[in-house]
C-alpha cells in the first residue's frame, strides 16, 4: 500500500480541528503552504482539509494534475469555491435545511463507508447537519457514493479520470473528524486510508 499525504489546514483554522495523529499508520502530514515543494509521486494519495486555501491550491493545479495523471488519488473535503481542477464544480447548497434534506443516504457501496451506518453520518450527538449541507456537482462519469435528502444530492462521489488517477470528493467537514468516534463512523478514517493508499487500478470504487 502506498503512503497517504495529509495536508494540514491553514494554521488559523484553530486547535479545535480533527487530528489524524494516532489514528493512521504510514501517513505523513505537511504544513499547508509547503505543498508545492513536495514530490507528490512519492505518495499514493493526497488528502486535503476543508480549511484549504483554494486560491493557493488552484495556483499549483498543474502539479496536482501531473500527480493524478500518474495514477495518484486525491481526496477533497469542503465546498468548492475557487477554480482548482476541471473536475471540480462550485458548491451547491441544499435548497432548504431540515431533517429530511439533511438525511444522508448510501447510493453506492464503497469501501470507505463499509460497515458505516448512514444514521451515524446524518446525526452527531443527535444533531443533524454536520456531515454535509450541499454538494459539489460531479463530472460526467463520476459515481455518486452518498446523497443528501430526497434529491440524493451527491455529497460524496468518486471519479476515475480518463487521463489517470482518482478523485474522492466529500462536500463537508474533514472526513477524519470521525477518527476515534464511538459510533460506526469511526470506520471511515482507516478505510479511507486503505482505499486511498491502494493501487489506483481497475474499478474506481
Partner 1 sequence: MTRLAALDSGTYYHHRTLYEERYRHFFDAVIYARQLGEVRLEDYDILLVSCRTDPSLLRPHHEKIAQYLAAGGTAVAMGSTGPHQWLPGVIWHDRPTNFWWWKEGGSLGLQCVDSDHPLFGRVTLQDATWHYHGFFDPPQGARTLIAAGGGAILYEDRVTTPGCMIVTSLDPMYHHGSYFMPATTRFLDGFLPYLKTDHRPRL
> For residues 185 and 121, what is the distance between their CA atoms, to the nearest angstrom?
7
> Which one of 22-30, 128-136, 174-182, 194-202 is the stretch in contact with partner 1 (CB under 8 A)?
128-136
Taking CB under 8 A as the rule, does residue 34 contact partner 1? no
Residue 126 CB, nearest approach to partner 1 (Å): 7
Taking CB under 8 A as the rule, does residue 133 contact partner 1? yes
Taking CB under 8 A as the rule, does residue 53 contact partner 1? yes
Query: Which of helix, strand or coil describes residue 19?
Result: coil
In which residue are the cell numbers 443528501 written?
148
Which one of 27, 46, 52, 158 is in contact with partner 1 (CB under 8 A)?
52
Taking CB under 8 A as the rule, does residue 79 contact partner 1? yes
State the alpha helices, DSSP H only, in 4-148. 54-59, 61-69, 99-102, 118-122
Instruction: Give which of 42, 4, 15 is closest to 189, Cα–Cα.
Output: 4
Taking CB under 8 A as the rule, does residue 127 contact partner 1? yes
CB count, 10 Å around CB of 143? 17
Query: Contact residues for partner 1 (CB under 8 A)?
Result: 10-16, 32-33, 50-57, 78-82, 91, 93-94, 97, 125-127, 129, 133-134
Amino acid at each position: 500500500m502506498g503512503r497517504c499525504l495529509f495536508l494540514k489546514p491553514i494554521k488559523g483554522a484553530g486547535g479545535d480541528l480533527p487530528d489524524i495523529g494516532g489514528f493512521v499508520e504510514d501517513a505523513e502530514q505537511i504544513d499547508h503552504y509547503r505543498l508545492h515543494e513536495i514530490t507528490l509521486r512519492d505518495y499514493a494519495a493526497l488528502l486535503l482539509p476543508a480549511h484549504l486555501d483554494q486560491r493557493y491550491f488552484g495556483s499549483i493545479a498543474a502539479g496536482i494534475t501531473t500527480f493524478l495523471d500518474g495514477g495518484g488519488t486525491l481526496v477533497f473535503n469542503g465546498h468548492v469555491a475557487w477554480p482548482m481542477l476541471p473536475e471540480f464544480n462550485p458548491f451547491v447548497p441544499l435548497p432548504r435545511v431540515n431533517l429530511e434534506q439533511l438525511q444522508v443516504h448510501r447510493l453506492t457501496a464503497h469501501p470507505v463507508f463499509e460497515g458505516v451506518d448512514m444514521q451515524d453520518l446524518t446525526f452527531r450527538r443527535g444533531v443533524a447537519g454536520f456531515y454535509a449541507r450541499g454538494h459539489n456537482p460531479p463530472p460526467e462519469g463520476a459515481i455518486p457514493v452518498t446523497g443528501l435528502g430526497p434529491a440524493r444530492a451527491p455529497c460524496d462521489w468518486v471519479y476515475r479520470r480518463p487521463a489517470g488517477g482518482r478523485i474522492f470528493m466529500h462536500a463537508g467537514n474533514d472526513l477524519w473528524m470521525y477518527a476515534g468516534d464511538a459510533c460506526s463512523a469511526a470506520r471511515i478514517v482507516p478505510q479511507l486510508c486503505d482505499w486511498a493508499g491502494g493501487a489506483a487500478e481497475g474499478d474506481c470504487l
